[in-house]
């Protein structure tokens, strides 16, 4: 068994165990293999094991990989900083965009998706760590973004995304994830499609699962650390 295949198996066992412990259904959790900077060969290997969701943080890298890997059931997730003028590079390929927090981004996604006759799933990124260097809107801005997105034909808002502080303080991390879950529940009343919670990475996915995460963005635990 290759190292990558072994890592995926270990991770799958951990996620399944955590779901059983917390009374959640494993099939409700989407594992996104964060393949940024990783070669096509590693993505092909992960795909061969059954992995279908892959995350990239650079738009042109996502474009290049999507054009090289012609798998009909592979879903690409844009998880990095969203530059409005580069959305055109991914509109034909991306299935999910996790890092939307501005009206102009929504408008550009809608425009570019329309050119390809596609509907793109988006998540509203919320700054739950209160760190200025991290992207995301304020909690008070979510409603405006959701209302505007609902008017766009080629954008489907599916949930919220957030990143906790990079810290060893598990209480701090859990509190951040709890905040995002609370915000989701608050807005679900008026936006019933807001069912996804993208939170949790290699170092904190267990805490995220305990707070209702439905999408885990995991890279190093699958592909190894980036050099």
Q: How far is residue 89 from each of residues 58, 81, 84, 93, 119, measured CA to CA in Å?
A: 10, 14, 10, 8, 15
3-state secondary structure of 169: coil
pLDDT of residue 166: 85
Confidence (pLDDT) at 130? 81
Predicted confidence (pLDDT) at residue 132 exceeds the cutoff of 80: no
Separation between Cα atoms, residue 139 and residue 210, nearest integer Å: 21
- Where does the pLDDT of residue 227 fall: very low under 50, low under 70, confident under 90, or very high at 90 and above? low
Q: What is the pLDDT of residue 226?
A: 67
For residue 1, pLDDT over 90 is answered with no
**Which residues have C-beta within 8 Å of that of residue 27, sequence separation ≥ 6?**
none
Mean pLDDT (the chain) is: 95
pLDDT of residue 39: 95
Mean pLDDT on 175-190: 96
pLDDT (mean) for 136-146 = 96
Looking at residue 208, its pLDDT comes to 96
Instruction: Please report, rounded to a whole number, the percentage of residues in the chain having pLDDT higher than 90.
Output: 92
Q: How far apart are CA 207 and CA 21, in angstroms?
A: 13
Question: How far apart are the C-alpha atoms of 29 and 215, rounded to whole Å?
Answer: 6
Q: Does 129 or 29 have the greater pLDDT score?
A: 29
pLDDT in tens, 148-179: 999 999 999 999 999 998 888 999 999 999 99
Residue 85 confidence (pLDDT) above 90: yes
DSSP letter, residue 36: T
From the CB of residue 161, how many other CB atoms can be counted at a distance below 10 Å? 26
Spell out the domain ranges in the chain. 3-222
Q: Which burial class, exposed, middle or buried, applies to 6 when counting CB atoms under 10 A from its CB (0-12, 13-18, 19+)?
A: exposed
CB 157 within 8 A of CB 146: yes
Q: pLDDT tens-digit profile of 37-68?
A: 999 999 999 999 999 999 999 999 999 999 99
Give me the pLDDT at residue 112, please.
98
Beta bridge partners of 161: 125, 198
Query: Domain 3-222 is in which class?
Result: alpha beta
């Amino acid at each position: 068994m290759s190292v990558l295949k072994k890592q995926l198996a270990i991770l799958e066992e951990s996620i399944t165990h955590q779901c059983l412990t917390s009374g959640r259904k494993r099939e409700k959790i989407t594992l996104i293999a964060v393949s940024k900077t990783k070669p096509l060969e590693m993505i092909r290997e992960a795909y061969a094991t059954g992995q279908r969701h892959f995350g990239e943080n650079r738009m042109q890298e996502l474009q290049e990989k999507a054009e090289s890997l012609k798998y009909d059931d592979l879903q690409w997730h844009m998880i990095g900083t969203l530059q409005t003028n580069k959305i055109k590079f991914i509109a034909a390929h991306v299935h999910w965009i996790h890092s939307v927090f501005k009206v102009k981004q929504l408008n550009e996604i809608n425009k570019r998706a329309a050119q390809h006759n596609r509907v793109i799933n988006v998540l509203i990124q919320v700054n739950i760590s209160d760190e200025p260097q991290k992207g995301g809107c304020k909690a008070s801005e979510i409603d405006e973004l959701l209302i505007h997105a609902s008017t766009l034909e080629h954008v489907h808002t599916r949930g919220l995304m957030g990143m906790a502080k990079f810290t060893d303080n598990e209480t701090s991390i859990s509190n951040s994830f709890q905040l995002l879950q609370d915000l989701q529940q608050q807005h679900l009343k008026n936006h019933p499609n807001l069912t996804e919670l993208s939170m949790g990475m290699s170092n904190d996915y267990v805490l995220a699962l305990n707070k209702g995460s439905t999408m885990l963005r995991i890279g190093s635990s699958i592909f190894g650390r980036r050099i």
